[in-house]
Structure 1
């Protein structure tokens, strides 16, 4: 059945919300775009005149498409080379979605997206729809074909899983930026001690190269081990320049609402390091270097005003 212009307008009005839901569910901007496109194809094939609440219909279709993708993605990740991390979204990306409440901001943070990988597909869907978008349990139950009581139990479990791994109290944006700049100064000083002082004792560093860029399969753990790794990461070498295609320019920004370091070569984002900063120091570094997961970041970078680099690395 051919869509009317009104049908197209109704779908396009829902797209930002659908993309934001899909990204939180899948942790991948490219997969989120594909899921929204598949939702449109189903909207195109539907008898839209008989759909009383388009928003609810579209959300249900999208969510169930994402649940199917999550199930197959888990199988693919068993053969993924090295650590799997979400695709980062840089400051201002519309796919980040609403950020008016603490719950909305947390649900798209890089730390919580990584934690949500521990959840079952249903736990992730209930958590996202409730925490990030405020859907009532009645609507979530309808979307997932569950009872309201089941949704409430699932949300309780999901919240507990996320809370168990959630970072300690974070600090304000200005202080976080200052710590990022101190970290970069320490990392390029060639000395380990200044770095150790900025880190928590149980700090971790995880990297995702996807088998296309060198990245350690196992996380670095502990202040000394992470400090040595970071000192080495920012140490110049011809081998690094050969891998990256040049000497990267380094910037500070935010990704997924959290402090981040971005490395850029000739306008191409080659790495994003998301920092988890608490009142006790830097608790985690999550580095995305898989080029397949940086294409959207590169497009966003080209369209944004990011100022001057702090320095050139390698």
Structure 2
């Protein structure tokens, strides 16, 4: 058996899974097959000896291919759903393989595909890979060019839209806004004593690539370091609802340039995200709050 045949046999072992991922992303059997074929071409043209985890590598590639196809489709404003109900995403393989049976049982219905189609491409990918295929956020993040926390937010937003209701019951909207307002007030006033009291000792501040390019540090850890980063530097920030959750935004002329997301637990801020990627800003729902 030559190397190409050996690689092809390995690929075939993952084909059903790859087609399932692509179908959930694209809602079209034909496009899913195209994405899988593109993934095979990329594998056959790569140095497979450098691939440590073939399944993970293939999943990442088919996800990227599907994401690009979704974005291209949106640019062309095509209707992605076929006029008939979707077929099952895997074919019969004898019915005895547990992995096959699991994939078969997890086939997507037309109703879910219709809901998924309302999501932005990055939201859809984050939701599909995490909620349907249990990929961790830190593996999904590079695919959508976000931090793991921002990717979690993408998936959470998608989840709320799919289910129709918020799913994170730990978020108390009133308390979240109270903490965010207090943090911004202390930051604007340079109140270095008040800021650390609002921060968890292990708080992490992360910035996406666009924010780093504008001068932000990619990551700051610890209450004191984060407090020093913000002290006296949030005068232009405004409290806002970021996808329905209290956060902050810098929006000169009413145009969001930087979104600040907060993770609040037990009355303290455990995580802060500075997000200024143009694609993210186009997708995010920002409502500036008065007062």
Q: How high is the TM-score relative to the length of structure 2?
A: 0.49
With CA pairs under 8 Å and 6+ residues apart, which has the higher RCO, 1 or 2? Answer: 1
**Bigger radius of gyration, 1 or 2?**
2
